[in-house]
Structure formats: structure tokens, C-alpha cells
Structure 1
Amino acid sequence: MLIIGSHVSFGAKQLLQSVTEAVSYNADTFMFYTGAPQNTIRKDIDDTLTLQATAIMQENKIDINNVICHAPYIVNPATNDPEKREFAINFLKQEISRCASLGVKYLVLHPGSSVNITKEEGLDNIVTVLNNILDNPYDVTILLETMAGKGNERGITTDELAYLINNVNDNTKLGVCIDTCHLNDAGIDLASFDKYLDDFDQKIGIPRIKCVHVNDSKNPFNSHKDRHANIGFGTIGFDTLSNIIYNPRLDNIPKILETPYIGDTDDAKEKKYPPYKYEIAMIRSKTFDNELLDKIRKAYNKN
């Protein structure tokens, strides 16, 4: 079964705001940050808003078990700075608690960047952070995201992710979120996606994959840059992405769009139109619409 949604806002109304936006896109699920992705400023969870959100999810057949939270980018578990690593541990413990309060069972985490240290040292720092945050009473699974390989990013290969999963004290609550743009930019040939899954299954196990970020890429294959493009309008292409989305080995796994907003023109600096309702419909149709971006602009300018 296809379970597809997108990144949505959290904002003042918290989960209620998220689910209301997701419903407007005709989505089956959604992903959110509990605050701005660029910082760690967070507000307490409002249980009243959560109850209202839960009711709307039930009305619209959105299963909370498929809803995803994403940790902010600024947290760096791979850092060699003890203070920054301790900050990451403390923040992520709080974020796990917030997820539990919301009833959300998955928290996506960028493994981080090993600046001025070896790859191995960075990976071991991540293991230290994971050991600290996984020791908790909550039913929340940390999903390590596959990365594009910008700079000293960790988590760019299946071997690195396998090392992390195999070296923590308890990996029961540890999984993986694969990102199609990141895989492409890291040098994974998505046209031969089943070969990637075969390797992943041997080294980690496909059941560890709990979420797929579906994004096209603005960059060439193996560029290590990570810039998302709208579905079918990048270097990966619609057919390849559709084959991944509908791959039977990833059935019933939430697929989340993180594609960019649309501007009034292709080169407009202001990107103000969310594409998700239209991209979701196109994905469900299994047919690429080369005029989709113009249709999105016209649709929003009518309203």
C-alpha cells in the first residue's frame, strides 16, 4: 500500500497545524519539525492541541504510526567537541520525549559531520550519542538518514550506517531513513535501485528502513551536494523515483516529499507555493506531468 505525504509546518498550533496542512494535500501521512530546523528553540507540547490533531487524523484515516518527526540540522552527533556532543545528547533526549508526548514513533536524525577528525572518530562519536539517547523508556525509534556526502558528513554509505547500528549497545530502537536525493548525490545509481536494496539487506536488513524521503536532485550524480528538486524535474527523473516509491520491498513504508516550494517563475527568488498536493496526485497517477509546475502556479494564483 502506498503511504505518501510531505514535510508540513508545526507552528503555534503544533500537531493540529501539521495534520490540517497534510489533509489539505490529500496526504496519507506527514513529517514535521517541532520547531525551526535551523535551531533548537522548542515549546512545550500542548496536549489539548494533540488531542484535536488526533481526532482529525482519525477522521482522515491518517495513522499516527506512519507520522515522522525530524530532528533539527544544527544537532551534530559526530562532533568531537564534548560540549556540543553533550548538547546534542540533552536536546535529543528532550526531542524523543516530545515525540512520545505527541504519539509519534519515529525521529529522523542526520548522523552529523566529522570536522577536523577522522571518519572513524566521527562514527564513534555518533555511537556515543546514540547510546546515551537510546537508553530511554519511550517507544520512539531513531532513524539515521542517508546523507549526500557534503564536506565531512557521515552516514553516506550503507557500511557507515551498518557500523553505527552494529556498535550501539542496543539497536532495538534504531532504524534508517533513506533519501533519494542524498543517495543520488552520494553516488548510488537509483536506476539500479534493487541492487542498492540487495546490498542494504545483506549489511543492515530492509526491515530497518522505516521512512523514505522522496526528492529529485538539482545536482549531477555523485556530486555530494544535496539540493532537492521537484519530482520529475531533476536529474533523477520521474520514472526512477516512481519505481522506488512503488518498489514492493518498500511497501507500507511512509514516503515523504521534501521538495522545494514553487516561485512565480523558475528562477524567482521567492518560493511561495507548496507543491505537495499536486506532486502527491501525480505520484498516485504514476504519470509524469511536464506542465505540473505551471499548473501549481495557476492553481495558487486563482485562490
Structure 2
Amino acid sequence: MPAQTPPTRVPRNVDETEALLRAGRYVCDRSLATALYLSLSLGRPLFLEGEAGVGKTEIAKVLAETLDRPLIRLQCYEGLDVSSAVYEWNYPRQMVEIRLAEASGDRGREQLESDLFSERFLIKRPILTALEATGGKAPILLIDELDRTDEPFEAFLLEILSDFQVTVPELGTIKADQPPLVILTSNRTREIHDAIKRRCFYYWVDYPDAERELEILRVKAPNAPEDLSRQIVAFVQKIRTMDLFKLPGVAETIDWAQALTQLDRLALDPDTINDTLGALLKYQDDIQKLQGSEAARILDEVKREMAGQAA
């Protein structure tokens, strides 16, 4: 049996984990850094749940960059099955092989069957690829938006999350010599089964408070004027208390700040807000609810509160 590849270095404590994320320009809570450290150090998958746009997927991208590991992403969708997520056989090549064998007559039926169902004809999809360490480095396996899949696919994941292996009936069990770092995300459009959650460390990624969101803007939109960034954060924080179809996430806050900076705005005003709400809100009903007098009212509140804080 071949010796296992020694694991690549992971952060030694929570402080190093937090520093690692910051090196990748990711601003996080101490509690998130703790959950990530435990996941990395104990080799357990990390299940991140939260609203869309709060930075769940970005964590996997940052880890791949800062730990210098390949990122393998499985984007989930309704109807996702084993052939798309794990493996499938290359049927066209198998048919060609059958025709060649028939023409040459140099192989018996059992030998041909053995040849057809060998790794030469196996198409490896993201999960199977992630079980094979590349260049001595276990990859980051991102299973993104798991809540979009069907429950039978969740059941299939249990073997992978527990033992980091998959079973291919024609080949047997394929087990990772060096398990990948697995991150699963969910926008909670439906509940994920407890059996999945029990195999993972769980963390709810919430909207940041105003102080942290401002810090995020300083990192992700560094060209935005400080006063504008403060107004943007205060405005977005107030919007998130409203009854909207889809509240803006951190990603939308960053997009809005970058858009306003591109327009050379130094501060918010009602006309600018009305013209750029599409960068912040993604549903027309929400935009209509906010445009005009409502946006002006919220902006007045923001300015009064900021003036009070400065006094």
C-alpha cells in the first residue's frame, strides 16, 4: 500500500486562521475563524448557511488562494445526480472500443468488459477529482448551494462526508489518500437533512454589523471616499430592517460602493440613489418600494444620525 502524502500545513490556531483570511482580503468574525480552524485542524467538513451574498462561497476561494490549493467547485442545481457530480462512463469511447475489438477479434468478452470499465474510460466529475490529491496538496472541495439539490443527492453525499470515499460498482471503493477540505454552503431555501449537518461543523453566516461592513468596504472598495462608505453602510443597514423580497447582501453593498465610486460620487443624494438602486436591489418590487420619497426619508435619517454621532 503506498504511503500517504503528508498533509499540507494548515493554521495552527484561531489567530493564524483569522490572519490567513485577512491575507486573502476576507474580513470575518472571530467565531467564523474559530469554526474554520476547527474544520481545518480536525479534518471535518464545514457547513456554511446564510442568506445569499454574505460571503459563504468566498471563504472557499480565499482558502484555495492562501493555502495554495486547487479549488474544485460543484455548483448544485435541481436534478443534480451522480453522473454530473461524481463520475460517468465515456460511452462514445466505449462504443468505439467495442467496434475495434469486434473488427480485430483479439479479445474475449470478459477481457473486453474488463477493459471497458477501467479508469481509461472513466470521466471524473468534481467530487471524484477532489478525492485525488494533486501535486501533494489536498484540494478545497466547494459544494455550493446544496439546498438547490434534491434529497436523494444529499443521501449520496453521506459516504463522502464521513469517509472521504466513493463507490464505483465496476471498480470498487475509491478512497482519498489525503482528504480534501470540504466546504458546503446553503442559502436555506429548504432545510438540509440532519444527517448531513451531523457530519460537519456548522456555522450561520449572518449579515455583518455596521462596523464590520464598513471594514469590508475599506478592503473590497478601497477607492470609495470614507464619508461615502459610511453613508452606504448606514443606508444598507436600515434597508435590511425593511420588509423586502430580497435584502441586499454584503456583495451588493460592495457592488453599490464600486458603482458610486465609478460615478465619482462623494456622498449619497436622492437622485443618485434612485439611479443606482439596481446595483443594490435585484427585484423590481423592492426597487419601486424604495424609490423616490422612501429613499429620501431613509437618507435623511442616515444624515441626521451621522451628524449626531459627529457632534
TM-score range, shorter chain: 0.3 to 0.5
Larger radius of gyration: 2
Question: Of Structure 1 and Structure 2, which has the larger fraction of its residues in helix?
Answer: 2
Highest relative contact order (Cα 8 Å, sep 6+), 1 or 2?
A: 2
